[in-house]
Structure 1
Amino acid sequence: MGTLNLNQLNRALIERQMLRERATGSALATIEHLVGIQAQEPKSPYIGLWSRVRDFRPQELEDLLTGRQAVRILLMRGTIHLVSARDALGLRPHTQLKLDRELRSGPFATRLRGLDLDEVAEAGRKILEDTPQGTADAGRQLGQRWPGHEHTVLGNVLRNKLPLVQLPPRGLWHRSGRAVCTTAESWLGESPRATPKTELVLRYLGAFGPAAVMDAQQWSGLTKLGEVFEALRPRLLTFRDEAGRELFDLPDAPRPDQDTPLPVRLLPEFDNVLLAHADRRRVIADDRLGVVIGGKPTVLVDGYVAATWAVTKERTITVDHLAPLPRSRQKAVAQECDRLQDWLGRF
């Protein structure tokens, strides 16, 4: 069991996230390899794919969404993700325990007392499968059956209890819209069926490893994954990080040299590369976590968050450096911003 330092962990993560060299495969294959893309902001998956896929065009992702091969759905950590249809069905059941806990102890918990939440959810299912709409709109209809309960509260029950997908045009590049929902069963023609946790952990390591049990739990929102890692131990390699934590990894996964050169990359808001570990120092320093929490798009320089970026009303890209950079690095950042600006102008 060897020790891996931060730079080694950084290079492994950047490589597996397709951020060292853009992939030549399809957008769908990339989405599946990454086990989904964070998608709270409707346009952010497009930027995430542009940074990872060579010659990516927005139409490719739009076609996946309108063709029901990819969907926007509440998943890991109780947040909206863009995933393949297969992963929507396989991953959503794992999120249910967290969402149920949120209903019991979250901000709406006191206003849900006395309600049979399963009964509310089934009534909402009928409404949303008959006529896709926003959860608050469905909540207004439910209010006729459960008077005295706010429509937003009832709508939140549906958000948490049902596997709801957000339908296009929500999430399209050229046009978007409010979140209109129906169930995954109705939209995809199949019922959710949980992916085995062993497969989930192996895929996580393939996209984010080497990693500790707590890292996988941070990414997924699941608990008690230590049992899964122990079951997989004979199939995995183990390491230690510099703090002594045990890390697990796939035997054949890439672990590049710590001095491997890395290009500048622009990441969208809440990119999973910044959220998928309990210890995030492999990609962002602790004193810079505020830029992620604040939802700012970030710039990776030599594999680490070094700046934030934004698009102005004039569709030009501005950069806010978090610390001074050598002139050569500043030039590389400016060149990557120019590439994105050119891409935005073409689409």
Structure 2
Amino acid sequence: MASTSRTTHPVLDTRSLNRATLARQLLLSRAEMPAQDAVAHLLGLQAQNVKPPYFQLHARLAGFRPAELAGLMESREVLRIVTMRSTIHTHTAQDALTLRPLVQPARDREVNNFRKGLVGVDLDRLAGLARDFVEEEPRTMGEIREELLKEWPDADPQSLSVAARCRLPLVQVTPRGVWGRSGQVRLTTLGVWVGAGPGVEVVEDGVGDRTGAVDDAVLRYLGAFGPASVKDMQTWAGLTRLREAFERLRPRLVVFQDENGVELFDLPEAPRPGADVPAPPRFLPEFDNLLLSHADRTRVIAPELKGRTWTVNQAHCVLLLDGFLAGLWKLDGNILTVELFESFGSSSGATKARTAEIVAEGEVLLAAMAEDGADGSVRFGSIHG
């Protein structure tokens, strides 16, 4: 249960939480770090679309160029797989082998939500048939579905797809996910893709192994997203019942509380810079994990701006100013359009210095990430216009 105001833990206000989280996320200053190390430190990059992982690393790493991550994709040192929150993430191969089993209970619950469409389907047999099919050669989800319908013609096709995706650790093979290339989503198993071999089961069943894996994930999550509550990590992972792990680790952690009395855990040696440390503008892509990995997102998104990063079911790229959500952006060719929210716009007396900082950061993005190689420009206006 969350702590109440009667606890005696030191209080971290919103700005202090913001600066601590930005430091862990490599967003206070760009890190001199290889892309592979950054992907591991961040426990993966949300990757429903192909380009966001590249923009996530650009915002965080000094001198990053898309070719670095693309090369890691092609060498299979990083890969695209469903993990946290049942969404595609870009992970190192090692983390995929560790984190995919960690979230298997959530994937099992997801299958249970589709049981009405799976009446008469033997899920173990389904997993075996799908495994053999994709390990023969990478397949599209449509091809997997059609193959399974041969065995269970009366089952719901979508439910068969969900069951295959959840029961098996399926990797999106390249060229999907490689910068500057296109490719249909084709899938094979994690074991085959990383060279473990066909038929290799990467989902761990041992209780002892799982306990150690969960504890390690808690420590790494705090290193990348802390200080954080139990609910924060459960939101990031899409898992429940993580309180036991936090209690197991409590003697190794420091404990704070937020302004509402919620207990926040952290690594003793983790950076917690002062609330007044400058935070430069940063352009983050849609689905950046900074915005999705806490139950309480006010450390980055002011309450009055909740929901502004979405239009219906479309996620927008976001601009951080002073560490907090301040606007949206869109890159069209070599034109970067920036839309500041009302409280940050010119009508609010935005300073020339702030505008100059946004433009300078936008020009850094254009120089590194604009695909046509031509000189670009930064404009202010509506991203819908």
Q: Please give the secondary structure, in 2, of the residue aligned with 1:317.
A: strand
Q: Please give the secondary structure, in 2, of the residue aligned with 1:291.
A: coil
8 Å CA contact 1:27, 1:53 repeated in 2: yes
CA apart distance, 1:212:
0.7
CA apart distance, 1:179:
1.0
Matched with 1:286 is 303
1:10 aligns with 2:18: yes
Matched with 2:145 is 139
| Aligned with residue 122 of structure 1, among 125, 128, 152 | 128
CA apart distance, 1:329:
1.9
Q: Please give the secondary structure, in 1, of the residue aligned with 2:329.
A: strand
Aligned runs of 1:3-42 on 2, under 5 Å? 3-42=11-50
CA apart distance, 1:272:
0.4
Amino acid at match of 1:274: L
8 Å CA contact 2:102, 2:213 repeated in 1: no
- CA shift digits 1:29-51 (9 cap, x unpaired): 00000000100111100000001
Matched with 1:80 is 88
Aligned runs of 1:203-214 on 2, under 5 Å? 203-214=220-231
- CA shift digits 1:263-305 (9 cap, x unpaired): 0001011100011110000001233232344410100000000
Aligned runs of 1:96-245 on 2, under 5 Å? 96-105=104-113, 108-190=114-196, 191-192=201-202, 193=204, 196-245=213-262
1:319 aligns with 2:341: no
8 Å CA contact 2:28, 2:279 repeated in 1: yes
Q: Please give the secondary structure, in 2, of the residue aligned with 1:282.
A: coil
Q: Please give the secondary structure, in 2, of the residue aligned with 1:196.
A: helix
Indicate the RMSD between aligned Cα atoms, in angstroms: 1.5
Q: Please give the secondary structure, in 2, of the residue aligned with 1:119.
A: helix
**Alpha-carbon distance in structure 2 between the residues aligned to 1:243 and 1:125:** 48
TM-score relative to the length of structure 1:
0.95
8 Å CA contact 2:65, 2:369 repeated in 1: no
CA apart distance, 1:150:
4.6
Instruction: Give the number of equivalent residue pairs.
Output: 344
**Alpha-carbon distance in structure 2 between the residues aligned to 1:186 and 1:45:** 23
Matched with 1:264 is 281
8 Å CA contact 1:135, 1:156 repeated in 2: no
Q: Which moved more, 1:146-155 or 1:224-233?
A: 146-155
CA apart distance, 1:322:
1.4
8 Å CA contact 2:118, 2:156 repeated in 1: no
8 Å CA contact 2:133, 2:144 repeated in 1: yes
8 Å CA contact 1:21, 1:52 repeated in 2: yes
**Alpha-carbon distance in structure 1 between the residues aligned to 2:57 and 2:308:** 21
Q: Which moved more, 1:170-179 or 1:31-40?
A: 170-179
- CA shift digits 1:242-282 (9 cap, x unpaired): 00011111000000000001100010111000111100000
**Alpha-carbon distance in structure 2 between the residues aligned to 1:238 and 1:226:** 14
TM-score relative to the length of structure 2:
0.86
Q: Please give the secondary structure, in 2, of the residue aligned with 1:45.
A: helix
Higher gyration radius (CA)? 2
| Aligned with residue 343 of structure 1, among 368, 379, 384 | 368
| Aligned with residue 359 of structure 2, among 334, 338, 341 | 334
Where is the helix percentage greater, Structure 1 or Structure 2?
1
Amino acid at match of 2:166: N
8 Å CA contact 1:137, 1:151 repeated in 2: no
Matched with 2:264 is 247
8 Å CA contact 2:50, 2:177 repeated in 1: yes
- CA shift digits 1:110-162 (9 cap, x unpaired): 21122112211110100000010112211112211221335443222211110
Which stretches in structure 2 are left out of the alignment for 5+ residues?
A: 1-8, 205-209, 345-349, 374-385
Q: Please give the secondary structure, in 1, of the residue aligned with 2:307.
A: helix
Aligned runs of 1:45-60 on 2, under 5 Å? 45-60=53-68
Amino acid at match of 2:321: V
**Alpha-carbon distance in structure 2 between the residues aligned to 1:287 and 1:103:** 36
Q: Please give the secondary structure, in 1, of the residue aligned with 2:188.
A: strand
**Alpha-carbon distance in structure 2 between the residues aligned to 1:288 and 1:134:** 39
Amino acid at match of 1:114: G
Amino acid at match of 1:281: T
**Alpha-carbon distance in structure 2 between the residues aligned to 1:80 and 1:285:** 27
**Alpha-carbon distance in structure 2 between the residues aligned to 1:11 and 1:299:** 16
**Alpha-carbon distance in structure 2 between the residues aligned to 1:291 and 1:99:** 29
Amino acid at match of 1:343: A
**Alpha-carbon distance in structure 1 between the residues aligned to 2:370 and 2:231:** 41
